Amino acid sequence: MQHFNKAEIRQIEDRYQDFLKVIIEKFDKERLSRIEKAFRFANAAHDGIKRKSGEPYIIHPIAVARIVAKDLGLGATSICASILHDVVEDTEYSINDIENMFGGKVAKIVDGLTKLSGDFDSRQALTLKKMLMTLSDDVRVILIKIADRLHNMQTLDSMPPNKKIKIAGETLYLYVPLAHRLGLYAIKSELEELSFKHKHAEEYNKILLMLHNQEEKRNYLVNEFIRPIKEKLTDEKIDSTVTHRLKSSYSIWQKMQKKGVTFNEIYDILAIRIVIKAKSGISEKRQCFDVLSLVTDIYKPRPDRIRDWITMPKANGYESLHVTVMGPQGKWVEVQIRTERMDEVAEYGFAAHYRYKDISTFENELETWIARIREQLRNPDSDAFEFLDDFKLNLYAAEINLFTPKGDMISMPQGSTVIDFAYEIHTDLGNKCIGAKINFKLVPISHELENGDQVEILTSEKQVPKLEWLKFATTAKARSKIKDAFKLEKKKHLEKGKTLVEEALKAVKAPITSNNLKKIIAHFNLNNKEQLYSEAGMGFLELINLDEILGKKSPNKLVKYWNITFSRKKKEGTESQKKEEQAKLPKIDKRKPFLLKEAQDNINYSLAKCCNPIPGDKVIGYLTTDDHVIIHKTGCKEVEKFLSSHGNRIITAEWTRFKKQSYLTRLRLEGFDRIGIVNEVTNVVSKQLSINMRAVKFDTHEGIFEGDLFLYIHNAEDLHQLIERLEKIKGIDRVSRDENLSD
């Protein structure tokens, strides 16, 4: 076995000594010697092992332990487990060895972390389910796992591009929502920034540049805004610090995507934070509201933007007062008011409770969250990734508080509907629900609930769960209960779906082969043929245009669009000749970018229907077989699932020049109506730029117009040129691309 040289041993020792400086003041000699023992043991176990970057492997566990100690404020047991977290996975030692040397608590955490190692495949998702079941026993497993992921993200540069995209996607899919739910805002924000940097490098750098360009102007605004607040706080003898922070580049980009706005149209890039040193004998809430009163005396508040998270804290313990006020130069500025204790909880979430409360209270505070997912976790039949999708909904959602007819308060995720509330109270109530009375007014089961609603569920003995309820059920509990009601029907659906798929294939004279089934599965973004049969049997899939999906050429159509598949010409011949031809086809090299060419004979690729990419868009590929790729836009929601569930099938992709083929694209226009504007729009499109139009739809209301253009575009460059021309037309306020191509 190869051992480390003197320089590497020195490097390891330096990192360990730097780590000790962080924790030396915090622990007594007995705890420090336990940590020392864990380091010496792990260092010997990992001797000679290196990471992809070339540095000694032990540096990673030391870095994780540093995050656990410094950023999460956890104790010696967690630090020991962090240092030892990869020993069982990567060396000859077992959990029993860890238990014998470091005790049962450390061994239990290391065991949980070992079960969570590796990539996110379906086995991993099942392991995560099991681990979440034991979350109430020891949440430190998840906290250390998040720290482990944070360091992996910090050192992602040494990875190949397809691995970077996979790991960044997986982080955004699961670790960011987990950090959010646990209130680890500082870590959540860093994970988002690092994921954004590696997944969308160009957009990340653009936003950083725009933030840098506005820095001087922003600093002037901040100083002008803060000065009168500081003076007032000093006059009132309120001991506090006033700071400012920028919205992260990821959250700026997310808002730009979500609302279809430009960088300059986002008003809350800046937030001012007032942190009070609380006086004893007066409630923290009252002290915060006194400061709110001072701020709104100076600046006028925006009435719909006052948030009180002190009276009713968020489920993850977050407490703060938020108000958006009109500052100097006509700019909206968000002001956050909180005490030092609240600020620490806001930065470090549940981990901060270790500093303020004993661990049993801390664990109990998680109980309401765990209770919501426990029933679903116990369901052995639920699909692991389906569970993860539903579980994510519960991680991210902000909370709203609802009341029963008797006045009991129930907290639920924002966006919950009547059916969610019914299942939250009892399964039978959900199964029999026909509607509700909200504040004494009758509403349907799809009605979305609002904060403070008093809800009385109405039932009928004749009611049975319906599949369409899944369209508006948002909580994991409600969704799993509705799905459970249909598990009994599953076999019937599978048989019916199999018949429907086979009939649809026969109708287009296509053989029922595994290759054809794979193409249909890939087209609908499904996992396997059972899921295809099941969804077809339940009526979720429209089995139309199968000839296009299977890559058959239709001579009557001059322009192909939507899910275009370029495929090999099938040669007639013997079975052995066909196999020989198949063997000659090159397999796709996952390490290199997949080049998308206009006339591609040897390798099939499809353009995903969910996001409808066109040549020039930033895209990535999803391998359905060794010689077939589905191309998605990098920001596509569907691809987020693949990044975490089948990340090993993700490859980078690049377009070559496309000039002949056209692609259907939809543009959304908004502006002020005037005579001749439609004529000008169509003139720019068809006469000036010679672009073919499929449909034009305009709707005007009280002087405002909205319009949709359905166009055949060669590539993204032509599209951007068109958007620029359209934006110059007098009266047009905004032009945006819509990925939904249905009329």
User: What does the pLDDT look like over 349-380, one tens digit per residue?
Assistant: 655 655 554 444 444 445 545 554 455 455 54
Q: How confident is the model at residue 448 (pLDDT cuts 50, 70, 90)?
A: very high
Q: Determine the pLDDT at residue 387.
A: 54
Least confident of 256-265, 269-278, 411-420, 441-450: 256-265
The two tokens of residue 442 are 């009758």
The two tokens of residue 23 are 């924790």
**β-strand 692-701 against 650-655: which pairing, if any?**
unpaired
**The residue to which tokens 């990567």 are assigned:** 90
Distance CA 483, CA 470 (A): 8
Q: Is the pLDDT of residue 728 over 60?
A: yes
Instruction: Give SS3 for 203.
Output: helix
Question: pLDDT digits over 479-533, tens only?
Answer: 888 887 776 666 777 888 888 888 888 888 888 888 888 888 888 777 778 888 8
Question: % helix / strand / coil in the chain, to the nearest 5?
Answer: 50, 15, 30
Q: Which long-range contacts link 655-658 to residues 24+ away (Cβ below 8 Å)? A: 655/596, 655/615, 655/616, 655/617, 655/619, 655/715, 656/595, 656/596, 656/597, 656/598, 657/598, 657/615, 657/715, 658/598, 658/615, 658/616, 658/714, 658/715
Question: pLDDT digits over 287-337, tens only?
Answer: 999 999 999 999 999 887 788 988 888 766 788 999 999 888 787 889 999
The two tokens of residue 33 are 């010697």
The two tokens of residue 167 are 């790991």
Paired with 699 in beta bridges are 706
Q: Determine the pLDDT at residue 556.
A: 37
Question: Which residues, 6 or more positions from 612, have their beta carbon under 8 angstroms from its beta carbon?
Answer: 562, 663, 664, 665, 739, 741
Give the predicted TM-score (pTM) of the model: 0.63
The two tokens of residue 98 are 């860890």
Q: Determine the pLDDT at residue 232.
A: 94
Q: How confident is the model at residue 564 (pLDDT cuts 50, 70, 90)?
A: very low
Annotate 130-164 with DSSP letters as a single string: HHHHTTTT-THHHHHHHHHHHHHHHTGGGS-HHHH
Q: Which active-site residues does the annotation give?
A: 89-90
Q: Is the pLDDT of residue 677 over 70?
A: yes
Q: Determine the pLDDT at residue 361.
A: 41
Average pLDDT value for the chain: 79
Distance CA 646, CA 362 (A): 35
Q: Determine the pLDDT at residue 362.
A: 41
Q: Determine the pLDDT at residue 392.
A: 53
Q: Determine the pLDDT at residue 569.
A: 38
Annotate 518-568 with DSSP letters as a single string: HHHHHHTT-SSHHHHHHHHHTT------HHHHTT---TT-SS--SS-EE-P
Q: Determine the pLDDT at residue 562.
A: 36
Q: Determine the pLDDT at residue 389.
A: 55
Distance CA 596, CA 697 (A): 32
Query: Which amino acid does the sequence have at 39?
Result: F
Least confident of 127-141, 573-587, 591-605: 573-587
Annotate 37-60 with DSSP letters as a single string: HHHHHHHHHTTT-B-TTSSBTTHH
Q: Which long-range contacts link 720-726 to residues 24+ away (Cβ below 8 Å)? A: 721/689, 722/667, 722/684, 722/685, 722/689, 722/691, 723/667, 725/684, 725/688, 725/689, 726/667, 726/669, 726/681, 726/684, 726/685
Q: Is the pLDDT of residue 139 over 90?
A: no
Q: Is the pLDDT of residue 636 over 90?
A: no
Question: pLDDT digits over 257-286, tens only?
Answer: 877 778 877 767 888 999 999 998 899 999
Query: Which amino acid does the sequence have at 171?
Result: T
For Cα atoms 443, 445, 453, give the angle at the middle one, nearest 5 degrees: 55
Distance CA 111, CA 88 (A): 8
Q: Determine the pLDDT at residue 565.
A: 38
Taking the CA of residue 133 as centre, how many other CA atoms within 13 Å lie in the half-sphere pointing to its CB?
A: 12
CA 276, chain centre distance (Å): 33
Q: Are 473 and 431 in contact (CB under 8 A)?
A: no
Q: Is the pLDDT of residue 630 over 90?
A: no
